[in-house]
Each structure stands twice: as C-alpha cells, then as structure tokens.
C-alpha cells in the first residue's frame, strides 16, 4: 500500500466502485427518467450506451488512474500532457456541481427514513409540501453532508469499503422481495408492459441524450471518479474484468429498481411522468398497504438503505475535488475535506430551495420552446449530467486514443490481465475509444446543447 492508502483487496475496489456507482442514480433517477422518456424504448437505448460506450470509458479512466496514482487533474500532468489538465478540472467542477444537488436528494431519502419510522405514510401525498419545508430538508441535507465529510476525512479504505460490502447485498435482497410483491398488485401488468415492451416510435433525440446522460451519471463516469479510484488499485488487478463487474452490478440494480417501480406506479394509478418526485410519491402508499408494523419496518429499512447507497456515492463525489485539493494545492487532507464539503453545501442551497421553497429557484428558467419553467436543480442537472459528463467521456476517449496512445493503455491493462493484447476485448475497447466514443459523444453533445438550451433542432 502506498502512502496515499489503497484498497485492501480487489473485492474491496469492486465493492467501493460499485458503491459509488450504485446510488440515487439507480433507484431515484433511473425510474423517473424511464417514466418521462417513454418507458422501454428509453431502457433499451440506455443499455446500449452503458455497455457499448460507457464500459470502454470506464476501463480508460481506471487505467489512467492506476498508471499515474494521481487525482484526475494531476494524472494528465503526470503522463506528460499538462494542457489536458483542463479535462480533469472540468471533472472536478462537475463533481462539485453534482454533489451540490445530489446531497439535497440524499437528504430527502434520509428524511423519508425518519418519516417512515414515525409511520407517516401520508408524506407521499404531499411530496411538494415535504420538499418546501426548507428548514427540515436543509437539516437533513446538512446531516448528510456531515456524514459524507466524516467518512472522507477518515481516508479511503477505512470508510467506503466496509460499508458497501455489507449494505449493498442487503439492499439487493430487499429490492428483489419488493419486485415479487409488486407483481402481485392490481394493474402490475400495465407497469411491466410500459417498462419492458419498447415502442420504437418513442426514440427521439431527447430520449437519446437523457439516456446517455443517465448512463454516465449512473456509472459515475466522465468526471474522473474512476481515475481517482484507479489510483488506489493494485497492479495485480484485472482492470477489464473489474469494469465488467461494476457495469453489470450498476445496470442490474437500475433495472431491478425499474422493475419494482413501474408495477407500483401503475397499481396506484399514478402517472409514470412524475419526475423527481416519482419514488417519493409512490412508495409510501405501497408501504402503508403492508400494514402498520410491516409497513414501518420495510419502509424505514428501504429508505435507510437508500440513504446508505447515496452515502457511498456522495463519498466518491467528494473524493474527487478533495484529492485534487490535497495533491495540487498541498493542503492537509482533513482541512481540505471540511473546506470543500462546506463550500459544496453552500453551492447546493439554491437547489435545496428549488423544489417549492423559493418561487424564484423553483421556476428558474424557461427553455426556448418549452411550455413550463425548469427548476434550478433540474437545470443544473441538465448541464452537469447530460452535457458535462458525456463531454468528459469523449475527451477522455480522445485523450487515450490519440494523445496518450493505445499502446500505453494496452501495456497498463496487460498488467493483471495477461493475454489482453490481441484479444477481442482489446480490439473492441480500442475501436470504441478511437471512433465510437469520440464521434457519437461529441455528436450527441452538440445536438443536446442546441436542442435543450437553444431550442434548435438540426434534424
Ligand atoms: N453514480 C452515482 C449514482 O448513480 C452518482 C455518482 C457518484 C456520480 N459519483 C459520481 C455521478 C461521479 C457522476 C460522476 O447515484
């Protein structure tokens, strides 16, 4: 183990990386994006992006990190390409922005745990009232940021590894149980159909870029999280098979969450287009129907586990700007963690107020051609998730393929994976990083920005 600390085992790395990837993105965001994106058609596009584009980018990020043992900014310098530091800086910035609103939603999840413990299932009928209470929701957000700060300040292997190894399996088992239960409800079939039977006419440009943004967000890609993780990985580990396992785990859990949610949504007669409130409006009624004792037990456990899943993600989000500040500005780690976390909490205040508490932030911007205003939090998410992350992914692919060079990538991956060079997977990763990712990601990035922010449709 180097002085920066390191993972105690390969399983430790996979568990921690999967812990970062699995979070609100899978259980809160994925179902509502599917709901707004027309159902199964969105799921299909998301799967294609996750495996064909995101997976090679993940391998590239881990390899850069392991090679350099640096944060995403320092990594580019260490490889001898100082100008490319800008990609790392974009990543640090994206991390700050994403964590600023992610922490707000994590606070909601934690708040719902408290409500469920008290048996307050009615909260589901007044989600808007819940999020408008900024003192309460702000308090939950503060608790959440404090928890994140304490874990990150204890260092990497101590905090993240232990928690995710125990809690992830419990969450999966619980969701499996809920999936089976959801199938028994009235009208479950309509939900399953919506979720699994694709209507290809629903595949539009916005569905494509939302699915792409969702894939990057859910896999924690495009901003150097995996460069940071990679910097703690041992040379004996197989990067490719680790990336396969992490991708499968993350996608699998998102799919499971959708399979559970849509029967619930349809059985309650709710619209699948409910947006960020979808799980928060749907689940309390489901738990209530289980009866007071079981409902409180299952409901509070579910939201507690969701909070832990979010915590392993907030930890990885905070880690990127912190490791940058520690390595580049030579500030002591403990101090850096508190400073960065405090700053991000403050940056998150407009997001905190943008779900009912403040009229201004709740109707922050009206896009060209849109009939409704977009709230601040959603707006920031559009910029960070659907624009910055795919752009970051494209730049990382271009960097590896054309600047650092594939031969160096292959040499790095070959350590821990004998026989990689010349294999089919090497050829695919090379092809994806050279052609597929740069072309598709840049193309969609340009179309996204024009369409969403300027209302210009080229096609
Ligand atoms: N992937 C996490 C989720 O799905 C969120 C997350 C953690 C993230 N680290 C990230 C997203 C880095 C983008 C980049 O909940």
DSSP 260-274: HHHHHHHHTT--TT-
Which residue's alpha carbon is at the smallest distance from atom 2 of ligand 1?
Answer: 21
DSSP tally for the chain: helices H, then strands E: 26, 0
With a 6 Å cutoff on the Cβ, whether 20 touches ligand 1 is: yes
- What is the average per-residue pLDDT within 347-358? 97
Residue to probe by mutation, ligand 1, list 148, 216, 220, most atoms within 8 Å of CB: 220
- pLDDT at 2 exceeding the cut of 60: no
User: Ligand 1 mean position to 411 CA, how many Å?
Assistant: 28
Q: CB within 8 A of 277, min separation 6: which ones?
A: 32, 127, 128, 131
Q: Given pLDDT bands bounded at 50, 70 and 90, which one contains residue 417?
A: very high
Tokens for 112?
């719902």
Please state, in angstroms and rounded to a whole number, the distance separating the CA atoms of residues 80 and 34: 42
With a 6 Å cutoff on the Cβ, whether 23 touches ligand 1 is: yes
User: Ligand 1 mean position to 294 CA, how many Å?
Assistant: 31
**Tell me: the pLDDT tens digits for 168-224?**
889 999 999 999 999 999 999 999 999 999 999 999 999 999 999 999 999 999 999
User: Ligand 1 mean position to 459 CA, how many Å?
Assistant: 31
pLDDT for 158? 60
C-beta separation of 87 from 76 below 8 A: yes
- pLDDT at 3 exceeding the cut of 90: no
Please state, in angstroms and rounded to a whole number, the distance separating the CA atoms of residues 348 and 366: 21
pLDDT for 1? 37
- How many residues are listed for the chain in this entry? 459
User: Ligand 1 mean position to 281 CA, how many Å?
Assistant: 23
With a 6 Å cutoff on the Cβ, whether 317 touches ligand 1 is: yes
Q: Given pLDDT bands bounded at 50, 70 and 90, which one contains residue 82?
A: very high
C-beta separation of 108 from 284 below 8 A: no
Which residue's alpha carbon is at the smallest distance from atom 8 of ligand 1?
Answer: 220
User: Ligand 1 mean position to 420 CA, how many Å?
Assistant: 28
Q: DSSP of 43-110, one letter per residue?
A: HHHHHHIIIIIIHHHHHHHHHHHHHHTS-HHHHHHHTT-GGGHHHHHHHHHHHHHHHHHHHHHHHHHH
User: Ligand 1 mean position to 90 CA, how many Å?
Assistant: 15
User: Ligand 1 mean position to 407 CA, how many Å?
Assistant: 29
Tokens for 85?
């530091």
Element (H, E) at 447: helix 437-448
With a 6 Å cutoff on the Cβ, whether 24 touches ligand 1 is: yes
Backbone angles phi, psi at 373, to 5 degrees: -75, 155
Atom number in ligand 1 closest to CA 221? 14
Average per-residue pLDDT in the chain? 94
Tokens for 130?
């819940």
User: Ligand 1 mean position to 267 CA, how many Å?
Assistant: 30
With a 6 Å cutoff on the Cβ, whether 314 touches ligand 1 is: no
User: Ligand 1 mean position to 186 CA, how many Å?
Assistant: 34
Please state, in angstroms and rounded to a whole number, the distance separating the CA atoms of residues 458 and 446: 10
User: Ligand 1 mean position to 26 CA, how many Å?
Assistant: 9
Best CA proximity match to 11, nearest among 171, 241, 198? 241
Q: Given pLDDT bands bounded at 50, 70 and 90, which one contains residue 156?
A: low
Atom number in ligand 1 closest to CA 26? 4
With a 6 Å cutoff on the Cβ, whether 26 touches ligand 1 is: yes
Tokens for 294?
């079981």
65-104 exposure pattern, b = at least 16 Cβ within 10 A, e = fewer: bbbbbbbbbbbbbbbeeeebbebbbbbbbbbbbbbbbbbb
Q: Cα torsion at 356, 359, 348, 284 (round to 10°)?
A: 10
pLDDT for 294? 96
With a 6 Å cutoff on the Cβ, whether 25 touches ligand 1 is: yes
What DSSP state is assigned to residue 195? H
What DSSP state is assigned to residue 422? T
With a 6 Å cutoff on the Cβ, whether 247 touches ligand 1 is: no
Which residue's alpha carbon is at the smallest distance from atom 6 of ligand 1?
Answer: 220
**Tell me: the pLDDT tens digits for 101-141?**
999 999 999 999 999 999 999 999 999 999 999 999 999 99
With a 6 Å cutoff on the Cβ, whether 98 touches ligand 1 is: yes
User: Ligand 1 mean position to 210 CA, how many Å?
Assistant: 15
- What is the average per-residue pLDDT within 152-156? 76
- pLDDT at 161 exceeding the cut of 60: yes
Backbone angles phi, psi at 211, to 5 degrees: -65, -40
Per cent of the chain over pLDDT 90 is 84
What DSSP state is assigned to residue 123? G
- pLDDT at 370 exceeding the cut of 60: yes
With a 6 Å cutoff on the Cβ, whether 220 touches ligand 1 is: yes
- pLDDT at 444 exceeding the cut of 50: yes
Q: Given pLDDT bands bounded at 50, 70 and 90, which one contains residue 234?
A: very high
Which residue's alpha carbon is at the smallest distance from atom 4 of ligand 1?
Answer: 25
**Tell me: the pLDDT tens digits for 387-412?**
999 999 999 999 999 999 999 999 99
**Sign (positive/negative) of CA torsion 223, 228, 234, 235?**
positive
Best CA proximity match to 279, nearest among 23, 105, 28? 28
Please state, in angstroms and rounded to a whole number, the distance separating the CA atoms of residues 67 and 81: 14
Cα angle 417-75-218, degrees, rounded to a multiple of 5: 70
Please state, in angstroms and rounded to a whole number, the distance separating the CA atoms of residues 28 and 101: 13
**Tell me: the pLDDT tens digits for 26-57?**
999 999 999 999 999 999 999 999 999 999 99
Please state, in angstroms and rounded to a whole number, the distance separating the CA atoms of residues 217 and 389: 7
Best CA proximity match to 399, nearest among 60, 22, 33? 60
Please state, in angstroms and rounded to a whole number, the distance separating the CA atoms of residues 372 and 429: 41
Please state, in angstroms and rounded to a whole number, the distance separating the CA atoms of residues 233 and 253: 24
User: Ligand 1 mean position to 119 CA, how many Å?
Assistant: 30
Identify the residue whose tokens are 């340009």.
446
Which residue's alpha carbon is at the smallest distance from atom 14 of ligand 1?
Answer: 220
Please state, in angstroms and rounded to a whole number, the distance separating the CA atoms of residues 320 and 91: 8
């Amino acid at each position: 183990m180097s002085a920066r600390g390191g993972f105690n085992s390969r399983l430790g790395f996979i568990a921690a990386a999967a812990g970062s990837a699995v979070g609100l993105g899978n259980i809160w965001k994925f179902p509502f994006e599917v709901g707004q994106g027309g159902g199964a058609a969105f799921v299909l596009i998301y799967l294609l992006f996750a495996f064909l584009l995101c997976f090679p980018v993940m391998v590239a990020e881990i390899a850069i990190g392991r090679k350099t043992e640096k944060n995403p900014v320092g990594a580019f310098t260490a490889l001898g390409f100082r100008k490319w530091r800008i990609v790392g800086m974009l990543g640090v910035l994206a991390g700050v922005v994403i964590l600023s609103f992610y922490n707000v939603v994590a606070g909601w999840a934690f708040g719902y745990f408290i409500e469920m413990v008290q048996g307050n299932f009615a909260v589901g009928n007044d989600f808007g009232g819940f999020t408008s209470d900024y003192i309460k929701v702000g308090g939950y957000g503060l608790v959440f940021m404090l928890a994140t700060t304490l874990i990150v300040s204890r260092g990497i292997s101590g905090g993240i590894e232990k928690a995710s190894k125990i809690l992830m399996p419990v969450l999966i088992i619980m969701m499996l149980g809920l999936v089976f239960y959801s199938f028994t409800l009235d009208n479950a079939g309509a939900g399953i159909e919506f979720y699994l039977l694709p209507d290809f006419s629903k595949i539009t440009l916005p569905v494509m870029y939302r699915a792409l943004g969702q894939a990057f967000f859910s896999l924690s890609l495009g901003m150097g999280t995996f460069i940071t993780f990679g910097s703690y990985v041992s040379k004996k580990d197989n990067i490719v098979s680790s990336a396969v396992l992490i991708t499968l785990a993350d996608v699998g859990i998102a799919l499971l969450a959708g399979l559970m949610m849509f029967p619930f949504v349809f059985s309650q007669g709710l619209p699948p287009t409910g947006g960020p409130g979808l799980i928060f409006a749907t689940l309390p009624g489901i738990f209530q129907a289980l009866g007071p004792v079981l409902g409180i037990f299952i409901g509070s456990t579910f939201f507690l586990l969701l909070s832990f899943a979010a915590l392993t993600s907030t930890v990885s989000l905070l880690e990127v700007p912190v490791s940058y500040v520690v390595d580049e500005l030579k500030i002591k780690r403990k101090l850096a963690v508190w400073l960065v976390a405090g700053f991000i909490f403050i940056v998150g205040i407009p997001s905190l107020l943008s779900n009912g508490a403040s009229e201004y932030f709740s109707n922050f911007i009206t896009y060209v051609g849109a009939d409704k205003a977009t709230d601040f939090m959603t707006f920031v998410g559009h910029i960070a998730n659907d624009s910055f992350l795919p752009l970051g992914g494209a730049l990382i692919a271009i960097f590896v393929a054309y600047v650092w060079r594939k031969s160096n990538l292959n040499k790095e991956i070959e350590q821990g994976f004998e026989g990689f060079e010349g294999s089919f997977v090497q050829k695919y990763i090379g092809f994806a990083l050279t052609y597929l990712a740069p072309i598709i990601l840049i193309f969609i990035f340009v179309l996204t920005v024009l369409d969403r922010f300027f209302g210009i449709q080229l096609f």
